[in-house]
Structure 1
């Protein structure tokens, strides 16, 4: 391992106002071999029952809270749309993205429900499931693994920063039954899914700050660290990783003031810019840390949207050397091959992957894993999920 430190040693949870530690919980489905509908139903039942048990909330309380969040997210998203505003003001200076709130309000977004809630211009490409399963199958045919890592919506981790009056319990229960059902369906079809929701709920009061930028549509520098540690933990269990050539990188925590995209959209001179904690990664030089550059011959492809660029690409992505690609390099001792777009991580990112393989006939020869990271709002708010080949 590249010396990044574990979640337990680097990220500590603050105690709540009641003096006890906030902790997370696992709600993964235990269904194995059953019919699809029964597996998904029982998975949802088990997840909700476990959530209720841990939070001391009744089944009805959790369901009511989820419906209340969904209803308020819909109201706020519609109001923002009418005002042609992308930023929705929450509590304590938090800002939320109208499109993400619309996704939270959408409910089920695949199968017969896809076209009802998708923003895709062509309803034939509204459903994310066929494209994800096809991508997985293509990679499997060339002995490359796929790890899907959807970024949870900010409002699902911090609903108390969006609205007041929710009966949430402690720890916070999961309020995303549709996501859990969809991820169970993907796993049933052989797709590895890293659902970060439980980890994020556990660490939402971490000492280094929140897991999302308060004034930006992206996750925070700390979330990049947590995600990298979870991803790296899974990679280190893969047989090929032991043979990978690794090297050490240095890191240091720094605070940085950013001009978030939601903050900029408000053009409010009375609203101060936020500061975020970043773990900068690189090679130590006389001038400071030199960021780690992605390497196209890496066995790992990091694919997706701007959640892979924030704090990595500089400019409107706020910083260099502190994004997900950088944190993975530190945790694994291995730079990744980065294919990320500022637009949609659904279809455009995979088109860029195809183009890269088109330019290099040997591109896939030494690849072992594709880590596909994108905001979960892509399930409803991309311009569609097309079938895209991975090679000419």
Structure 2
């Protein structure tokens, strides 16, 4: 017996399989694998087929080719052979025992939010969602912020609001500010935070700046135009300028993570200053935070620094209430994920 579908249903199914230009749409994970196969293993980045002005970090595409993280065996998918879930869960449990709440904030891969920039023929709905994997963390007692869902909301409501740099491996100034406010909304009413208020914190009106990001070689910088992005500076207000609020050991809030916490804050190869996540988080909270951030530190580096600090100062965690851990989601399959204690006790 043959199953006959109404013509209207067939039309809808066909439309769902077509890319915007009317051609056959491609599966996202297959597109990622194709982009990797078409590039050299030594390439730092892969230019977009959908938009030649956009570049994608090769290591991030290597992460994305694993598909649905929730269905993957991360002890095998992770290039170091380490499943991050039990490591993160143990760290969260240790912090909870110290009276500290952990919030994990994985930054989604750029191509998962802007798949059409990688390839115009990709079917956006075929991008594996990060939410099921974050649910696995939640089941182990880890609170995580689903930025993928938040970023897709912004893409729908404000399509002109660019959330990632086209030529850099990091999020944009707009994303820094957005995520800072999402995180601050969870903790700004804590008594310990309100008691540590700092007067004079402010955000300046946006200004447009030009950047060449870290995904371009020197040769490419000669042929690829600088991208223009709006940036709002945040800090202690002084007329039409602000002063950077530096890391504060007295803060009840600890922020740890990779270069996503340094971009647009530290300047130099981090593109700009006073417009990063930490800058906006401090203004949104109304208080300074203590930072443990580093470039190329992965998931381990900042935790090592915290462990060393706790060894020198046994009371380090005594007045801390929240630890906000921000890192690129590619660390789930690219990071080492060593078990590093939150508190090191001297023998």
Coarse TM-score class (shorter-chain normalised): 0.7 to 0.9
Q: Once the 2 structures are TM-superposed, how far is the Cα of residue 388 of structure 1 from its aligned partner? A: 0.5
Structure 2 distance, partners of 1:284, 1:180, is 38
Counterpart contact for 1:81–1:98, Cα < 8 Å: no
Could you say if the C-alpha distance between residues 98 and 240 of structure 1 is closer, same or farther in structure 2, counting changes exceeding 3 Å?
A: same
Matches within 5 A, 1:103-122: 103-109=63-69, 113-120=73-80
Counterpart contact for 1:110–1:128, Cα < 8 Å: no
Q: Once the 2 structures are TM-superposed, how far is the Cα of residue 345 of structure 1 from its aligned partner? A: 3.1
Unaligned runs of 5+ in 2: 1-11, 19-23
Could you say if the C-alpha distance between residues 256 and 285 of structure 1 is closer, same or farther in structure 2, counting changes exceeding 3 Å?
A: same
User: Is the partner of 2:180 in helix, strand or coil?
Assistant: helix
Q: Give the RMSD, CA atoms, in angstroms.
A: 2.6
Q: 2:174 aligns with which of 218, 222, 229?
A: 222
Matches within 5 A, 1:202-217: 202-204=153-155, 206=158, 209-217=161-169
Q: 2:135 aligns with which of 180, 184, 209?
A: 184
Instruction: Give 2:91's aligned residue.
Output: 135
Q: Deviation per CA, 1:25-50: give whole Å up to 9, x if none.
A: xxxxxxxxxxxxxxxxxxxxxxxxxx
Counterpart contact for 1:209–1:276, Cα < 8 Å: no
Matches within 5 A, 1:325-336: 325-336=278-289
Are 2:29 and 1:73 aligned? no
Structure 2 distance, partners of 1:107, 1:332, is 36
User: Is the partner of 1:146 in helix, strand or coil?
Assistant: strand
User: Is the partner of 1:275 in helix, strand or coil?
Assistant: strand
Counterpart contact for 1:108–1:114, Cα < 8 Å: no
User: Is the partner of 2:216 in helix, strand or coil?
Assistant: helix
User: Is the partner of 1:292 in helix, strand or coil?
Assistant: coil
Structure 2 distance, partners of 1:128, 1:66, is 33
Q: 1:294 aligns with which of 225, 244, 247?
A: 247
Counterpart contact for 1:86–1:265, Cα < 8 Å: no
Q: Once the 2 structures are TM-superposed, how far is the Cα of residue 116 of structure 1 from its aligned partner? A: 2.8
User: Is the partner of 1:204 in helix, strand or coil?
Assistant: helix
With normalisation by structure 1, the TM-score equals 0.76
Unaligned runs of 5+ in 1: 1-55
Q: Once the 2 structures are TM-superposed, how far is the Cα of residue 368 of structure 1 from its aligned partner? A: 0.4
Matches within 5 A, 1:1-392: 68-82=27-41, 84-90=42-48, 91-92=50-51, 93-109=53-69, 113-120=73-80, 123=81, 126-168=82-124, 173=125, 175-177=127-129, 179-204=130-155, 206=158, 209-236=161-188, 238=190, 240-252=192-204, 253-264=206-217, 267-285=220-238, 288-382=241-335, 384-392=336-344
Structure 1 distance, partners of 2:13, 2:244, is 46
Q: Once the 2 structures are TM-superposed, how far is the Cα of residue 118 of structure 1 from its aligned partner? A: 1.7
Larger Cα Rg: Structure 1 or Structure 2?
A: 2
Structure 2 distance, partners of 1:323, 1:174, is 31
Q: Once the 2 structures are TM-superposed, how far is the Cα of residue 239 of structure 1 from its aligned partner? A: 5.8
Across the two proteins, how many residue pairs are aligned to each other? 323
Counterpart contact for 1:87–1:96, Cα < 8 Å: yes
Structure 2 distance, partners of 1:100, 1:57, is 31
Could you say if the C-alpha distance between residues 78 and 127 of structure 1 is closer, same or farther in structure 2, counting changes exceeding 3 Å?
A: farther
Q: Deviation per CA, 1:170-190: give whole Å up to 9, x if none.
A: xxx47224x222110111222
Could you say if the C-alpha distance between residues 57 and 134 of structure 1 is closer, same or farther in structure 2, counting changes exceeding 3 Å?
A: farther
Could you say if the C-alpha distance between residues 57 and 188 of structure 1 is closer, same or farther in structure 2, counting changes exceeding 3 Å?
A: farther
Counterpart contact for 2:112–2:127, Cα < 8 Å: yes
Could you say if the C-alpha distance between residues 175 and 210 of structure 1 is closer, same or farther in structure 2, counting changes exceeding 3 Å?
A: same
Counterpart contact for 1:157–1:200, Cα < 8 Å: yes
Structure 1 distance, partners of 2:224, 2:159, is 23
